[in-house]
């Protein structure tokens, strides 16, 4: 048997842009070096920053923590949204957030990010083994 954890978040692109223009250090507090490199290489970096911010928060919601515990910058930097060669986003967890995933026995994760108008939305789905099935392979 598997357990499914789901998180979703929506972010106004204009809000991320206004924060970034007022506090440029926000980018390095929230986003990893690779995320910033990717986003700032795009014609409109704010759309991609908003999408990644939404995906990070959606992941924290799926894990059941939200922005508590490690604080906004600590928790969000431990969730990295990477880009596969195909362009598909992928989650990379580290630190405290990775430990929570292991404790919940998460073995598969997926993230989807969309942009439309002034909004970016992200959905994260995590598949976890039930505590008594840690040795079984389960395919969705």
The total of structural domains in the chain comes to 1
Q: Is residue 73 part of a domain?
A: yes
* Structural domain harbouring 110: 2-133
Q: Is residue 140 part of a domain?
A: no
Q: Is residue 52 part of a domain?
A: yes
- CATH number of the domain where residue 64 is located: 3.90.470.20
Q: Is residue 105 part of a domain?
A: yes
State residue 87's pLDDT score.
87
Q: Cβ distance 127 to 4 under 8 Å?
A: yes
Global pTM exceeds 0.75: yes
- Digit-by-digit pLDDT tens for the chain (140 residues) are 889 999 999 999 999 999 999 999 999 999 999 999 999 999 999 999 999 999 999 999 999 987 765 556 578 899 999 989 898 999 999 999 999 999 999 999 999 999 999 999 999 999 999 876 555 554 44
């Amino acid at each position: 048997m598997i357990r499914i954890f789901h998180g979703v978040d929506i972010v106004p692109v204009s809000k991320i842009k206004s924060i970034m223009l007022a506090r440029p250090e926000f980018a390095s507090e929230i986003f990893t070096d690779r995320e910033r490199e990717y986003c700032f290489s795009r014609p409109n970096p704010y759309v991609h920053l908003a999408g990644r911010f939404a995906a990070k928060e959606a992941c924290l919601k799926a894990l059941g923590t939200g922005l508590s515990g490690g604080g906004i910058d600590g928790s969000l930097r431990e969730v990295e949204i990477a880009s596969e060669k195909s362009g598909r986003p992928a989650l990379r967890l580290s630190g405290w957030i990775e430990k929570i995933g292991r404790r919940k026995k998460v073995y598969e994760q997926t993230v989807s990010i969309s942009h439309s108008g002034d909004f970016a939305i992200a959905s994260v789905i995590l598949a976890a083994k039930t505590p008594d099935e840690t040795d079984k392979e389960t395919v969705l």
